[in-house]
Chains A and B, each alone.
Chain A
Amino acid sequence: MDNADQDVTVEDDEPAVVQLTGITKRFPGVVANRDVHLDARRGEVHAVVGENGAGKSTLMKILYGMYQPDEGTITVDGELVRFHTPKDAIDLGIGMVHQHFMLADNLTVLENIVLGAEPRRGIRLDYAAARRQIRELSDRYGLGLHPDRLVEELSVAARQRVEIAKVLFRGARVLILDEPTAVLVPQEVDALFSNLVQLRTAGLSVIFISHKLDEVLQVADRITVIRRGSTVATVEPGTTTSRQLAELMVGSELPTPQTAESTVTDHVELAVTDVTITSDDGPDLLRDISFDVRRGEIVGFAGVEGNGQSELVEAIMGLRSLDAGRVVLGADDVTQWSAHRRRVSGVGFIPEDRHRQALLLDAPLWENRLLGWHSQEPAGGRFWINPKSARAEAAQIMTDYDVRAPGPETLAAALSGGNQQKFVIGREMSTQLRVLVAAHPTRGIDVGAQAAVWDRLREARAAGLATVLISADLDELLGLSDTLYVLFGGRIVAKLDPADVTPEILGSYMTGATPAEAGPADDPGELA
């Protein structure tokens, strides 16, 4: 009892807008949050960091009324509240942008923003007023929205701004962002942060989750660290380094991607030649893409999202037909091969959007183990699958890749975002591969697990794997790649040696500007 009194630290001069006290939340087989404390003040950017599965998303969903806590209380402006649905939270000015976006692709920005909160005049929808309001929001916080564009035409960063506007439109004073920067390239991250600063200046509170500790230190006013479901500490960025943060989170050192000595051989495993994919309207999606990936080589692709990365991946995987060009795997021209045939010839695939392309969310993990490899012995087969060995293999992946979940029978949907990603990586890499196509392999993964994944990729490279790596994380690209290409507007605009290129130079290639002194970069003209 005496201790309890001492634990209470009165440090806030300003009252908290929202305060979570002693929150505990249990799921079958898991305690996602245990006695968590968090508060956000007016005009504050508050970061929440922690390992995969630490319970960050769950905590935010509790604050947003999606889950009810088993124990603990929430206060808003000092008043005790109880949320039954997100609507209750929205009514009190709390809004959330999820880890996985939830916009309707075929609606316009305007429609998406007003969806569910339609402005009415009598019984008619008042779109004119809504449009005016959105323009105002967009101008005030520098969101740069075009109300009548279709969402499917927007880049990821723009979609995110739509999500933010959607929340602001509902009158949010507290904005929750779950891993907003995971999908952004550095320039976009900077833009987002300047938006956040504007929100802060206007007196709003922002709570955001991130695995990128440097960014967190750069933008946050306070940082709460969650470890295995409990709050470990709330710190101020001025007095902390990212190394200390990482230690608080996982109790281990912050990893730095380092290229070990080259393991590149002369044997070309994957050759892509003059690949072109045209589009019905507008410029080609891919134009004359040619590159080789040799055994033991990691070839990285940098680029702002939407410059042909998805199409390139689909071309290699056989998910899209080519208008010109060839894809050669080892000695075989696989241009006409089905996706399945390419897969079983030893091409692993870590897609960019795990929910959409990599997982059966409503199926248990052992069935997810089979996905893509369901025709391969021993778990799969030409005619029959073997649930028993699929379960065993799923359990093996969970151990090897530190996937934290109760067991192979757990539904994929019940895993935290990072654990889902780790499972997908494990699935692909625990098969004998010749080529791995990895899009954003460490997106949403905590620093500790990220280092483990990088190690796996390096081990596989040393064992002769040819890897195509697409990433928005420049450190990852520079640290892992043996050769680096820059995609812009569906073309390869530069071939760089990652050993002597800086993120700044890379960044300017990615935005289409050729740096004045290209330095070590090859002349892009040579590639044509």
Chain B
Amino acid sequence: MTRLLGWWRRMAPTLVALGVALVITALFILIIGENPLRALAALFDFGETSVAQANSIGVWINRAAPLFLAGLAVSIGFRMGLFNIGVEGQYRIATVVAAGVGAALVLPAPLHVLVIVVAAMAAGAVYAAIPAVLKVTRGVSEVISTIMLNSIAIALAAWMVRVPFVDPDLGPGENVATRRIAESGQFPGLNELFGVIGLEEPRRPVHGFVVVAIVVGIVMAIVLSRSRFGFELRATGLNPFAATANGISSKAMIIKAMLVSGALAGLVGLPDLLGSAHRFQADSFVSGYGFTGIAVALLGRNKPVGIALAALLFAFLDRAGPSLQSEGIPPAAVIIMQGIVVLSVLVVDEVARRGMLRREERRARAQDPATVTEEVAR
């Protein structure tokens, strides 16, 4: 009961913030001369037929998994006050490498996937190590260097697809891409699962990698709250001076946090790659998860469960883009709404924190003062 209450206390400000965001977005839609109620309906419109609905849910899942992983990657740095803006570049590089490595090998199914996953994580970590090393040895701000490395990543990825990993059997006029990963290196979809629980099977693949994302989320939750690394991360974030004075080397922490963050970033592109694309092609590569991941991490307050909810919310809004468009509302409304959600959460959070403090004080006042002092002032 108290747990439920505590949970409600923590969630309430976010729900209020969501309400505020909804109202502001409605105002915006009014201003551009459309009907906010129709927009709201479009937001929750999953389609007419049961196939369309199943498709919609599939899109939602496919979008949420990489956002969750990206948010998780960003949050690792945030926890110690390190701004890894470079998740975007890290997952692009990692995805190319994973595609290249995956296509170059043929192994038994689970092993093949495992190798691809490890390659992606390693590539992400290595690419994240660059800003970490720059910061530790030269004091370069990770914000600047990761932003720069994002641009470099686009060029580097393009070169890797064109030269080392290029598919030699491309037809004339076809866009450059890596070779297709063999069947053994593909991740089974969730489509059949839809049938099992009595829904229509979606027509397009639903990425099964979401299961891996959930497992990673659980593992990270445990690592952050129970491991020495998690503690050191938290301590460094709370008071870097005290952490250093007590033997937690801030340089080592920068390196470790960036490596973990980069390794997680490496997973961001895999749901798409292993679930449906099976090759890397610059034009069909979905970019932007790394940036949205920053907002997701902020909204989720750097906690795995929060990030999961935030990723679901953002994916839900993203999914509604096309149906909004059919109502004559620009899909940018979705992005505006996402921005407003994050902003209002930050504002409402602060207001709620103060209110909570006042309530705590009132609660203390209500308790019998005499007994309390005795207990405290032994």
State whether A319 and B244 are in contact (beta carbons under 8 Å apart), knowing that A363-B238, A404-B377 are contacts in the complex.
Answer: yes
Extra 11 A-B pairs, beta carbons < 8 Å, given A229-B373, A338-B249: A31-B369, A31-B372, A356-B242, A358-B246, A363-B238, A371-B242, A372-B247, A374-B248, A384-B226, A387-B226, A404-B378
B249 to chain A, nearest CB (A): 6
Q: Could you tell me if B247 and A340 are in contact, using CB atoms closer than 8 angstroms?
A: yes
State whether A31 and B245 are in contact (beta carbons under 8 Å apart), knowing that A26-B365, A374-B231, A384-B227 are contacts in the complex.
Answer: no
B145 to chain A, nearest CB (A): 24
- A485 at the B interface (CB under 8 A): no
A375 to chain B, nearest CB (A): 6
Stretch of B72-80, B161-169, B356-364 with 4 or more beta carbons under 8 angstroms from chain A: B356-364
Residues of A within 8 A of B373 (CB): 30-31, 34, 228-229
Residues of A within 8 A of B284 (CB): none
15 contacts between A and B (CB under 8 A): A29-B364, A34-B369, A34-B373, A229-B373, A339-B245, A342-B247, A343-B246, A358-B242, A360-B235, A360-B238, A363-B238, A367-B234, A374-B228, A387-B226, A404-B377
- A22 at the B interface (CB under 8 A): no
A418 to chain B, nearest CB (A): 13
Among B227, B239, B243, B360, the residue within 8 A (CB) of A361 is B239
- B159 at the A interface (CB under 8 A): no
Q: Could you tell me if B228 and A380 are in contact, using CB atoms closer than 8 angstroms?
A: yes
- A478 at the B interface (CB under 8 A): no
Task: Please measure, in the bound complex, the distance between the C-alpha atom of A362 and the C-alpha atom of B243, giving whole angstroms.
Answer: 13
B365 to chain A, nearest CB (A): 5
B204 to chain A, nearest CB (A): 42
Q: Could you tell me if A358 and B245 are in contact, using CB atoms closer than 8 angstroms?
A: yes
Residues of B within 8 A of A218 (CB): none
Residues of A within 8 A of B377 (CB): 53, 228-229, 404
Q: Could you tell me if A362 and B238 are in contact, using CB atoms closer than 8 angstroms?
A: yes
Residues of A within 8 A of B246 (CB): 339, 343, 349, 357-358, 371-372
Interface flags for A19-47 (1: CB within 8 Å of B; 0: not) read: 00000101111110010000000000000
Q: Could you tell me if A357 and B242 are in contact, using CB atoms closer than 8 angstroms?
A: yes
- B241 at the A interface (CB under 8 A): yes
In chain A, positions 463-484 with a C-beta closer than 8 Å to chain B are none
Residues of A within 8 A of B249 (CB): 338-340
Residues of B within 8 A of A406 (CB): 375-376
- B232 at the A interface (CB under 8 A): yes
Task: Please measure, in the bound complex, the distance between the C-alpha atom of A357 and the C-alpha atom of B244, giving whole angstroms.
Answer: 8
- A351 at the B interface (CB under 8 A): yes
Task: Please measure, in the bound complex, the distance between the C-alpha atom of A317 and the C-alpha atom of B247, giving whole angstroms.
Answer: 9
Q: Could you tell me if A27 and B364 are in contact, using CB atoms closer than 8 angstroms?
A: yes
Task: Please measure, in the bound complex, the distance between the C-alpha atom of A359 and the C-alpha atom of B242, giving whole angstroms.
Answer: 6
- A121 at the B interface (CB under 8 A): no
Q: Could you tell me if A383 and B372 are in contact, using CB atoms closer than 8 angstroms?
A: no
Nearest A residue to B365 via CB reads A26
Interface flags for A346-379 (1: CB within 8 Å of B; 0: not) read: 0001010000111111110001001110110000
A436 to chain B, nearest CB (A): 14
The 9 closest A-B pairs by CB, nearest first: A340-B247, A372-B246, A357-B245, A360-B238, A339-B247, A343-B247, A28-B364, A26-B364, A228-B377
State whether A371 and B235 are in contact (beta carbons under 8 Å apart), knowing that A26-B361, A343-B246, A356-B241 are contacts in the complex.
Answer: yes
Residues of A within 8 A of B361 (CB): 26-28, 70
- A405 at the B interface (CB under 8 A): yes
Interface flags for B289-328 (1: CB within 8 Å of A; 0: not) read: 0000000000000000000000000000000000000000
State whether A359 and B372 are in contact (beta carbons under 8 Å apart), knowing that A27-B361, A370-B231, A384-B227 are contacts in the complex.
Answer: no
B261 to chain A, nearest CB (A): 19
Among A34, A359, A363, A375, the residue within 8 A (CB) of B228 is A375
Nearest B residue to A362 via CB reads B238
Task: Please measure, in the bound complex, the distance between the C-alpha atom of A374 and the C-alpha atom of B227, giving whole angstroms.
Answer: 10
Residues of B within 8 A of A229 (CB): 373, 377
Task: Please measure, in the bound complex, the distance between the C-alpha atom of A356 and the C-alpha atom of B241, giving whole angstroms.
Answer: 6
Nearest A residue to B360 via CB reads A28
- A382 at the B interface (CB under 8 A): yes
A228 to chain B, nearest CB (A): 5
Residues of B within 8 A of A34 (CB): 369, 373
Chain A residues at the B interface, C-beta cutoff of 8 Å: 24, 26-31, 34, 53, 70, 228-229, 317, 319, 338-344, 349, 351, 356-363, 367, 370-372, 374-375, 380-385, 387, 402, 404-406
Residues of B within 8 A of A344 (CB): 247
B364 to chain A, nearest CB (A): 5
Interface flags for B204-237 (1: CB within 8 Å of A; 0: not) read: 0000000000000000000001111111101100
A227 to chain B, nearest CB (A): 9
Q: Could you tell me if A402 and B378 are in contact, using CB atoms closer than 8 angstroms?
A: yes
Nearest B residue to A427 via CB reads B246
Q: Could you tell me if A29 and B245 are in contact, using CB atoms closer than 8 angstroms?
A: no
Residues of B within 8 A of A317 (CB): 245
A71 to chain B, nearest CB (A): 9
Q: Could you tell me if A29 and B234 are in contact, using CB atoms closer than 8 angstroms?
A: no
A487 to chain B, nearest CB (A): 20
B5 to chain A, nearest CB (A): 16
Nearest B residue to A344 via CB reads B247
A331 to chain B, nearest CB (A): 21
A523 to chain B, nearest CB (A): 36
Q: Could you tell me if A349 and B242 are in contact, using CB atoms closer than 8 angstroms?
A: no
Nearest B residue to A229 via CB reads B373
Among A29, A358, A381, the residue within 8 A (CB) of B372 is A29
B374 to chain A, nearest CB (A): 9
Q: Could you tell me if B369 and A384 are in contact, using CB atoms closer than 8 angstroms?
A: no
Among A24, A343, A367, A405, the residue within 8 A (CB) of B231 is A367
Task: Please measure, in the bound complex, the distance between the C-alpha atom of A351 and the C-alpha atom of B242, giving whole angstroms.
Answer: 9
Residues of A within 8 A of B241 (CB): 356-357
Residues of B within 8 A of A31 (CB): 369, 372-373, 376
Nearest A residue to B230 via CB reads A385
Nearest B residue to A25 via CB reads B361
Nearest A residue to B374 via CB reads A228
Residues of B within 8 A of A53 (CB): 377
Q: Could you tell me if B376 and A30 are in contact, using CB atoms closer than 8 angstroms?
A: yes
Task: Please measure, in the bound complex, the distance between the C-alpha atom of A24 and the C-alpha atom of B372, giving whole angstroms.
Answer: 14
Q: Could you tell me if B242 and A360 are in contact, using CB atoms closer than 8 angstroms?
A: yes
Q: Could you tell me if B228 and A381 are in contact, using CB atoms closer than 8 angstroms?
A: yes
Q: Could you tell me if A359 and B239 are in contact, using CB atoms closer than 8 angstroms?
A: yes
Q: Could you tell me if A385 and B226 are in contact, using CB atoms closer than 8 angstroms?
A: yes
Nearest A residue to B244 via CB reads A319
Residues of A within 8 A of B235 (CB): 360, 363, 367, 371, 374
Q: Could you tell me if B231 and A404 are in contact, using CB atoms closer than 8 angstroms?
A: no
Task: Please measure, in the bound complex, the distance between the C-alpha atom of A286 and the C-alpha atom of B368, giving whole angstroms.
Answer: 56
Residues of A within 8 A of B231 (CB): 367, 370, 374, 380, 385
Task: Please measure, in the bound complex, the distance between the C-alpha atom of A405 and the C-alpha atom of B373, giving whole angstroms.
Answer: 10
Residues of B within 8 A of A357 (CB): 241-242, 245-246
Q: Could you tell me if A363 and B234 are in contact, using CB atoms closer than 8 angstroms?
A: yes
Task: Please measure, in the bound complex, the distance between the C-alpha atom of A307 and the C-alpha atom of B248, giving whole angstroms.
Answer: 27
Residues of A within 8 A of B364 (CB): 26-30
Nearest B residue to A385 via CB reads B231
Q: Could you tell me if B228 and A340 are in contact, using CB atoms closer than 8 angstroms?
A: no
A106 to chain B, nearest CB (A): 15
B229 to chain A, nearest CB (A): 8
A321 to chain B, nearest CB (A): 13
Q: Which of A28, A359, A363 has the most CB of B within 10 A?
A: A28
Among A29, A338, A362, A367, the residue within 8 A (CB) of B376 is A29
